[in-house]
């Protein structure tokens, strides 16, 4: 699983790989060879009228593969040459029939090749468009926001997909750096749409709401409005203040892991409230917790796909233990290792979208 | 949303006049605060008003009870959620709500504002100013500093007695003798919450027992409300007064306790003499006195023509007296009161 590209930089996959030259050569010369062989055999065996009707078939050869207009015309020309060689001395009716056959087949195949080429281009363009849109609606956070360094990883439930119901965001705001990790309930395209809208609303609120509780309440209203079939969104809202304090509000979301001195442990003392979309059930209670990380502390935020990942035997992934085991190297390397380990562990077990966001608060010169 | 409302089968008693007056005031001011001590029936009145078709059939009617809310910054959010309107995410909640509401006709009932009075005043004033067809009815033990105030009076003795009998009927208790009922209600300061709590006792005791237990005001404080649906701050009169105490300044708490030495009415001059000392110098004492009146913990003596005499309701006084004896000041204050009485006579 590659490292997710930062927002704004979208990697696009080329449409169809250009076919290599040898293949192209074989495809171009095959009809010519067939026409030649048929003409020689017809002449040598003195049976031109037997081989003449084969020429339209030679012209049809390009239909067997993905060929361009030039291949079709080349095959047509080869077939015409064959007709000319075999037609010498044959009955005019047969020659004319063969000629008509070759021309018709060439025309038909050329038209068909054109259409399929157009369709392919369209498909390729759609594929690219989907990726660009996905990256635009659910962009990954940049490497650093307001001095907070970030590193994200995403393991999709569907291999190859780069979006699902898991979202994360990071914004530099007048209230400090604000971070979000969230998980939209449900599966399918609806979820991607809800995820995109939820993220969009969070981003706007992050710049205008002065408290995390305010953001949560308004997101709750929004999720109730946009999420179909009474779904919900679990989320962890974080505010990193300029003085180094980190405030957290968990809406039914797993707590973060605190990595300190080479050891990882679940952050204690975070009292979760109801997921967004269900806040009414807890009378809008939004308790936050404030921690003050030490200079080299890391926080690992993750979604259920990580926190509740199980193997084939149904055992939970021992995230804190595994993370501790990988600690001691560069954060990127640690995350890479963790990701590979997690992917291996969940192979065979049930899979969910899984997202990890490693945050390193700014290390201050004057700590205190 | 309002627990005290949802399971009440009792119709609002003796408040027809108040309903009409508040409705009139609301039409003119668009922002009205019903004030009065806890349990007097502010929420019940506001609830009844919200059910009247005063603003026309297409008006949005929304209610919220701010009692559980602690963070003043979230007042606009609670209002927005009650109205089911959020407004654009690119604006702070108050501005967004104002935009979403626009000139929609709406009646918003905001219950229990006392602990967030300052913020409620700001937010509600701003909303009413910006939304020309919005009407807001707030309830608060402490008046909001806005022009539209409606101080709610206790219910008359007859109404209280009727209410008591009605609650008794709902409990399937034996019909209490009218005379006993009147004597019980006379001890309850016309407070519907107290009437309700006292009537609840009839499930286990006779009316005569209830009357004799109420003659000690301290006992009335701790009668538990057994009826379902009452919010925690109304589970007993003590709970209700605890909630008020929490909103008081240190000086107000001290004065509340000290005022309990007066068995009847008192005037500010007497209070200055008896309750004032180094711990409560004249300046802060006058401020605390005003504060207690502002929060409906003391009230003008009803039959006093000059309007300078105040009294403290029985249970409020009993509560203060307990705090006075806990503080260890009771003896000293009683001595001062005695000395003053002897000098005055
Ligand atoms: N006029 C009334 N008629 C009947 N019941 C009343 C009346 N006023 C109040 N009550 C009841 O008394 C209790 C306390 O009233 P409430 O409105 O909650 O007081 P407040 O809001 O002033 O603290 C509630 O159970 C309410 O139903
Ligand atoms: Mg009330």
E strand or H helix at A174, and its extent? none
Q: What is the pLDDT of residue A153?
A: 87
Ligand nearest to the CA of residue B34, numbered in listed order: 1
Please list, residue by residue across A71-107, b when 16 or more beta carbons sit within 10 angstroms of its beta carbon and e when fewer do: bbebbbbbbbbbbebbbeebeeebbebbbebbbebbe
d(CA B204, ligand 2 centre) in Å:
27
B38 lines ligand 1 (CB under 6 A): yes
Query: Could you tell me if A157 and A111 lie in one domain?
Result: no
Q: What angle do CA B284, B289, B294 make, to 5 degrees?
A: 120
Find, among A84, A74, A79, A83, the residue nearest to A110 by Cα: A74
Is there a contact between A179 and A148 (Cβ–Cβ < 8 Å)? Answer: yes
Q: Tally Cβ neighbours within 10 Å of residue B218.
A: 12
3-state secondary structure B28-91: HHCEEEEECCCCCCHHHHHHHHHHCCCCCCCCEEEEEECCCCCCHHHHHHHHHHHHCCCCCCCC
Angle between helices B282-294 and B250-259 (to 10 degrees): 80
Residue among A19, A3, A17, A12 nearest A127 (CA): A12
Distance B260 CA to ligand 1 centre (A): 26
A222: its two tokens: 């929004």
Question: What local confidence, expressed as pLDDT, does residue A14 receive?
Answer: 38
Q: Is the CB of B40 under 6 A from ligand 1?
A: yes
Tell me the pLDDT band of A13, cut-offs 50, 70 and 90. Answer: very low
CA dihedral sign of residues B253, B259, B263, B267: negative
Q: What is the 3-state secondary structure (H, E, C) of A115-153?
A: HHHHHHHHHHHHHHHHHHHHHHHCCCCCCEECCEEEEEE
User: Mutation test of ligand 1: which of B35, B39, B235, B297 has the most ligand atoms closer than 8 Å to its C-beta?
Assistant: B39
A144 located within any domain:
yes
Q: Tokens 């192979």 correspond to what residue?
A: A347
Closest ligand to B38 CA? 1
Which one of B152, B168, B192 would you pick to mutate in the ligand 1 pocket, going by the greatest count of ligand atoms within 8 A of its CB? B192
Percent of chain A residues past pLDDT 70, beyond the cut:
83
Asked whether B14 lines ligand 1 (CB < 6 A), one says: yes
Q: A305 with A166: CB under 8 angstroms?
A: yes
pLDDT in tens, A113-125: 888 888 888 877 7
> Which among A204, A214, A222 is the nearest to B73, CB-wise?
A214
Last residue of a domain, one of A91, A109, A133: A133
Q: How far is CA A96 from CA A77, A79, A86, A188, B76, in A?
A: 16, 13, 12, 59, 88
Any atom of ligand 1 within 6 Å of the Cβ of B3: no
Cα B193 from Cα B236, distance rounded (Å): 9
- The Cα–Cα gap between B3 and B231 comes to 6
Interchain proximity B74–A211, CB inside 8 Å? yes
Best residue among B22, B164, B193 to mutate for probing ligand 1's pocket (most ligand atoms within 8 Å of CB) is B193
Judged by average pLDDT, the poorest of A60-69, A196-205, B246-255 is: A60-69
Whether A198 and A116 map to the same domain: the answer is no
Q: What is the pLDDT of residue A275?
A: 94
Place of tokens 């000041």: B329
A278 touches chain B (CB under 8 A): no
Q: How confident is the model at residue A8 (pLDDT cuts 50, 70, 90)?
A: very low
Residues lower than pLDDT 50 in chain B: 1-7
Q: What is the pLDDT of residue A134?
A: 61
Question: pLDDT of A209-221, one tens digit each?
Answer: 999 999 999 999 9
Residues 38-77 of A with CB under 8 A from B: none
**Cα atoms in the 13 Å half-sphere on the side-chain side of B48:** 21
pLDDT on residue A226: 84
- Give a yes or no: residue A208 inside a domain: yes
* Structural domain range at position A29: 21-133
* Residues in a beta bridge with A299: A258, A359
Which of the residues B62, B75, B77, B87 would you substitute to probe the A interface, choosing the one with the greatest number of A C-beta atoms within 10 Å? B77
Whether the CB-CB separation of B152 and B193 falls below 8 Å is answered with no
Residue A41 has pLDDT above 90, yes or no: no
- A115 and A222 assigned to the same domain: no
Looking at the CA of residue B112, tell me the nearest atom of ligand 1.
21
Q: Is A15 within a domain?
A: no
Task: Give the helix/strand (H/E) hosting B334.
Answer: helix B330-344
CB of B318 within 8 A of CB of B217?
Answer: yes
How many CB atoms are closer than 10 A to CB A339? 18
Give B216: exposed, middle or buried? Use CB within 10 Å, 0-12, 13-18, 19+: exposed
Final residue of a structural domain among A118, A133, A148 = A133
Whether the predicted pLDDT of A268 surpasses 50: yes
A181 shares a domain with A36: no
Both A73 and A156 in a single domain? no
Q: Which of B1, B4, B244 to mutate to test the pocket of ligand 1 (most atoms within 8 A of CB)?
A: B4
Nearest CB neighbour to B91, from listed A208, A211, A221: A208
Residue A330 has pLDDT above 70, yes or no: yes
Q: How confident is the prediction for chain A on average, in pLDDT?
A: 82
Based on the domain organization, do A90 and A217 belong to the same domain? no
The whole-number average pLDDT for the span A256-272 is 91
pLDDT greater than 60 at residue A5: no
In angstroms, rounded to a whole number, what is the distance separating the alpha carbons of residues A52 and A83? 6
Distance B192 CA to ligand 1 centre (A): 5
Taking CA atoms, what residue in A is nearest to B70?
A285
Q: Tell if the CB–CB gap between A205 and B80 is shorter than 8 Å.
A: no
Distance CA A157, CA A351 (A): 6
Q: Distance from B92 to chain A by nearest Cα, in Å?
A: 5
Q: Chain B within 8 Å of A208 (Cβ-Cβ)?
A: yes
H or E segment to which residue B239 belongs: helix B237-246
In-domain check, residue A5: no
Nearest to A204 among B78, B89, B93 (CB): B89
For chain B, the residue count is 345
A119 and A147 share one domain: no
Q: How far apart are CA B172 and CA B115, in angstroms?
A: 38
For the CA of B111, the nearest atom of ligand 1: 21
Residue A51 shares a structural domain with residue A153: no
pLDDT recorded at residue B291 = 93
Q: What string of H, E and C letters represents the secondary structure of B177-200?
A: CHHHHHHHHHCCCCCHHHHHHHHH
pLDDT at residue A367, as a whole number: 43
A106 and A160 in a single domain? The answer is no
Strand bridging mode B299-300 / B106-111:
unpaired
Interchain proximity B77–A218, CB inside 8 Å: yes
Check pLDDT > 60 for residue A10.
Answer: no
CATH of the domain at A281: 3.60.40.10
Residues of B in contact with A201 (CB under 8 A): 89
**pLDDT single digits (tens) B186-227:** 998 889 999 998 998 888 888 898 898 888 888 888 888 877
Main-chain phi, psi angles of A192, to 5 degrees: -60, -40
* Interface check A213 vs B, CB under 8 A: yes
Q: What is the DSSP secondary structure assignment for residue B216, as one 8-state letter?
A: S
Instruction: Tell me the average pLDDT of chain B.
Output: 90
Whether the CB-CB separation of A235 and A219 falls below 8 Å is answered with yes
Shortest CA distance from A208: residue in chain B: B92
A192 min Cα distance to partner chain B (Å): 20
CB contact under 8 A, A208 and B90: yes
Specify whether A169 is located in the same domain as A38: no
Exposure on the CB side of residue B188, measured as CA atoms within 13 A? 36
Could you tell me if residue A60 is inside a domain? yes
Mean pLDDT of A10-14: 36
pLDDT for residue B228: 73
According to DSSP H, which parts of chain A are helical?
Answer: 21-45, 48-51, 55-60, 69-87, 92-137, 189-208, 212-226, 304-307, 319-326, 331-346
In a shared domain, residues A34 and A177: no
Q: Among A207, A218, A285, whose Cβ lies nearest the Cβ of B86?
A: A218
Substitution target from A221, A273, A283 for chain B, most B beta carbons within 10 A: A221
At which of A68, A100, A133 does a domain end?
Answer: A133
Q: What is the dihedral of CA B137, B142, B147, B152, to 10 degrees?
A: 60
Distance from the CA of B141 to the center of ligand 1, in angstroms?
A: 13
CA of residue B38 to ligand 2 center, whole Å: 7
- The predicted pLDDT at position A159 comes to 57
CA of B113 to the centre of ligand 2 (A): 9
Pocket flag, ligand 1, residue B10 (CB < 6 Å): yes
Looking at all shown ligands, the one closest to residue B15's CA atom is 1
Question: How many angstroms does the Cα of residue B13 sit away from the middle of ligand 1?
Answer: 9
Confidence band for A7, pLDDT divided at 50, 70 and 90: very low
Confidence check: pLDDT of A129 > 80? no
Asked if A213 and A349 sit in the same domain, the reply is yes
Residues whose CB falls within 8 Å of the CB of residue A355, separated by 6 or more in sequence, listed in order? A152, A153, A154, A155, A166, A167, A168, A181, A183, A302, A303, A305, A306
Q: How many domains does chain A have?
A: 2
Beta bridge partners of A155: A354
A62 DSSP assignment: G
Using a CB-CB cut-off of 8 Å, the residues of chain B touching A208 are 89-92
Number of H helices, E strands in chain A: 10, 11
The dihedrals phi and psi of B31, each to the nearest 5 degrees, come to -135, 110
CB contact under 8 A, B91 and A207: no
Size of interface A-B (CB pairs under 8 A): 47
Per-residue pLDDT, averaged over A75-89, amounts to 84
Does ligand 1 have an atom closer than 6 angstroms to the CB of B42? yes
B80·A221 Cβ contact <8 A:
yes
User: Is B136 a pocket residue for ligand 1 (Cβ < 6 Å)?
Assistant: no
Residue B60's DSSP bridge partners are: B106
């Amino acid at each position: 699983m590659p490292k997710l590209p930062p927002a704004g930089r979208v990697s696009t996959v080329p449409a169809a790989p250009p076919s290599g030259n040898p293949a192209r050569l074989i495809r171009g010369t095959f009809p010519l060879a067939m026409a030649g062989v048929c003409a020689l055999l017809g002449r040598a065996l003195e049976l031109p009228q037997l081989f003449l009707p084969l020429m339209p078939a030679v012209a049809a050869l390009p239909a067997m593969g993905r060929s361009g207009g030039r291949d079709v015309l080349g095959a047509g020309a080869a077939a015409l040459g064959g007709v000319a060689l075999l037609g010498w001395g044959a009955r005019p009716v047969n020659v004319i029939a063969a000629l008509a056959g070759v021309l018709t087949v060439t025309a038909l195949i050329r038209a068909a090749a054109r259409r399929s080429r157009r369709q392919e281009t369209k498909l390729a363009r759609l594929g690219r468009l989907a990726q660009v849109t996905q990256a635009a609606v659910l962009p990954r956070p940049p490497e650093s926001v307001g001095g907070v360094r970030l590193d994200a990883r995403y393991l999709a439930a569907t291999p190859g997909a780069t979006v699902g119901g898991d979202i994360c965001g990071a914004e530099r705001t007048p209230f400090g750096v604000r971070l979000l990790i969230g998980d939209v309930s449900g599966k399918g395209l609806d979820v991607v749409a809800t995820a995109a809208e939820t993220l969009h609303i969070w981003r706007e609120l992050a710049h205008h709401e002065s408290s995390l509780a305010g953001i949560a309440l308004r997101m709750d209203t929004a999720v109730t409005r946009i999420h179909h079939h009474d779904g919900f969104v679990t989320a962890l809202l974080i505010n990193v203040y300029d003085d180094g304090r980190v405030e957290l509000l968990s809406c039914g979301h797993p707590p973060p892991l605190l990595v300190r001195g080479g050891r990882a442990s679940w952050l204690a003392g975070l009292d979760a409230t109801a997921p967004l979309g269900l806040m009414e059930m807890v009378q809008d209670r939004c308790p936050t917790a404030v921690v003050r990380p030490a200079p080299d502390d890391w926080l690992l935020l993750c979604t259920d796909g990580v926190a509740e990942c199980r193997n084939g035997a149904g055992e939970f992934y021992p995230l804190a233990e595994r993370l501790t085991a990988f600690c001691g190297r560069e954060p990127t390397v640690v995350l890479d290792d963790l990701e590979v380990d997690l992917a291996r562990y969940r192979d065979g077990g049930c899979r969910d979208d899984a997202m990890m966001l490693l945050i390193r608060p700014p290390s201050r010169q004057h700590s205190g | 949303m309002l627990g005290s409302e949802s399971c009440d089968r009792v119709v609002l008693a003796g408040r027809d006049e108040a309903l009409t007056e508040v409705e009139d005031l609301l039409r003119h001011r668009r922002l009205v605060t019903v004030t009065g001590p806890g349990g007097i029936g502010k929420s019940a009145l506001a609830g009844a008003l919200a059910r009247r078709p005063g603003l026309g059939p297409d008006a949005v009617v929304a209610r919220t009870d701010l009692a559980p809310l602690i963070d003043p910054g979230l007042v606009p959010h609670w209002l927005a959620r009650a109205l089911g309107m959020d407004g654009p995410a690119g604006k702070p909640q108050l501005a967004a709500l104002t935009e979403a509401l626009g000139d929609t006709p709406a009646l918003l009932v905001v219950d229990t504002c006392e602990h967030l009075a300052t913020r409620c005043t700001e937010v509600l004033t701003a909303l009413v100013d910006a939304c020309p067809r919005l009407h807001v009815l707030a309830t608060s033990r402490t008046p909001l500093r806005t022009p539209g105030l409606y101080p709610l009076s206790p219910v008359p003795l007859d109404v209280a007695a009727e209410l008591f009998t009605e609650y008794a009927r709902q409990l399937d208790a034996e019909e209490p003798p009218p005379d006993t009922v009147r004597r019980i209600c006379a001890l309850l300061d016309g407070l519907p919450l107290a009437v309700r709590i006292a009537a609840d006792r009839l499930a286990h005791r006779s009316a005569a027992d209830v009357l004799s237990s109420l003659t000690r005001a301290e006992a009335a404080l701790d009668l538990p409300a057994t009826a379902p649906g009452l919010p925690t701050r109304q589970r007993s009169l003590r709970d209700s007064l605890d909630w008020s105490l929490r909103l008081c300044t240190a000086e107000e708490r001290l004065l509340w306790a000290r005022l309990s030495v007066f068995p009847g009415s008192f005037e500010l001059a007497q209070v200055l003499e008896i309750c004032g000392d180094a711990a409560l110098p004249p300046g802060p004492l006058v401020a605390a006195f005003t504060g207690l009146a502002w929060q409906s913990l003391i009230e003008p003596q009803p039959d006093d023509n000059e309007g300078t005499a105040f009294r403290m309701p029985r249970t409020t006084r009993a509560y203060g007296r307990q705090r006075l004896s806990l503080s260890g000041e009771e003896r000293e204050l009683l001595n001062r009161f005695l000395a003053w009485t002897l000098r005055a006579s």
